[in-house]
Amino acid sequence: MPNLPGNDQPPRPKHESRPPAFRIGDHLALDFLNTVAAPRGTTIEWLGSGADLLTWMRVGGLIGAADATETARWPTSSIDEVAREAIQFREWLRKVVTRLKIEGIASLKRSELSRINGLMAVDAGFSQISKSSADAGNCVIEHRRHWSEPRQLLVPVAVEVADLICNADWELIRKCENPPCTIWFNDRTKGHRRRWCTQAICGNRAKVAAFRERQRQSE
């Protein structure tokens, strides 16, 4: 099931009729792929504007509260442009992930690495030590960014993509078995037998289809 919003999530606009974005990929790069889906037949886009992108990143923990405040000063039009680039990157990534699943990491092209590296290259990160908010007797090191241009918003996304490519067990990276469903996930279940995006959506649909098929055959 999609995770329900927690306390740390930004409030949803009153006119919002979409369900929250899927958080069922068990890897943020896959959740990024899943920001467009048609769980009930109608396509839902969760990155349709800059505000959408910021909300998705904030909810997923790709940017923190301080980052959200800093990036909020950018003009809407420039963040909207980044959201359009995010969608292009996502659909390009979908093809790459589909191929990597079939042909393996060895099939990764130099041009594909360059595209991901190009996004990560605009990073301007620094580390910061501060007292832990949970325990004043402890200190924590945080990774922060100098936010100088809106395209830097794609850096944490690209880092997640790089992590997926380098560190994931690709045996466990799968697309939902329901053919029209586009949801990808990292199967972290104990027995590694996860087949569906969610039992409630595609699992049940498959169960009903199998039942009807059995009935048809016994007629």
Q: Taking CB under 5 A as the rule, does residue 178 contact Zn ion? A: yes
- Closest approach, Cβ 80 to Zn ion, in A, equals 29
Segment 200-209 long-range contacts (CB within 8 Å, at least 24 positions apart): 200/1, 201/39, 201/40, 202/176, 202/177, 202/178, 205/178, 206/177, 206/178
| CA nearest to 125, candidates 106, 113, 142 | 142
- Closest approach, Cβ 123 to Zn ion, in A, equals 34
Q: Which residue, 93 or 197, is less far from Zn ion as judged by CB?
A: 197
Angle 134-29-133 from CA coordinates, rounded to 5°: 10
By CB under 5 A, the residues from 41 to 70 that bind Zn ion are none
Q: Taking CB under 5 A as the rule, does residue 199 contact Zn ion? A: no
Stretch near Zn ion under the rule CB under 5 A, chosen from 26-34, 98-106, 171-179, 210-218: 171-179
Q: Which residue, 62 or 176, is less far from Zn ion as judged by CB?
A: 176
Burial class from Cβ neighbours inside 10 Å (0-12, 13-18, 19+) for residue 114 reads exposed
Q: Which residue, 58 or 175, is less far from Zn ion as judged by CB?
A: 175
Q: Taking CB under 5 A as the rule, does residue 197 contact Zn ion? A: yes
**Spatial separation of the C-alpha atoms in residues 49 and 78, rounded to whole Å:** 10
- Closest approach, Cβ 52 to Zn ion, in A, equals 22
Q: Which residue, 140 or 210, is less far from Zn ion as judged by CB?
A: 210
Token pair recorded at residue 66: 């301080």
Q: Taking CB under 5 A as the rule, does residue 86 contact Zn ion? A: no
Q: How many residues bind Zn ion (CB under 5 A)?
A: 6
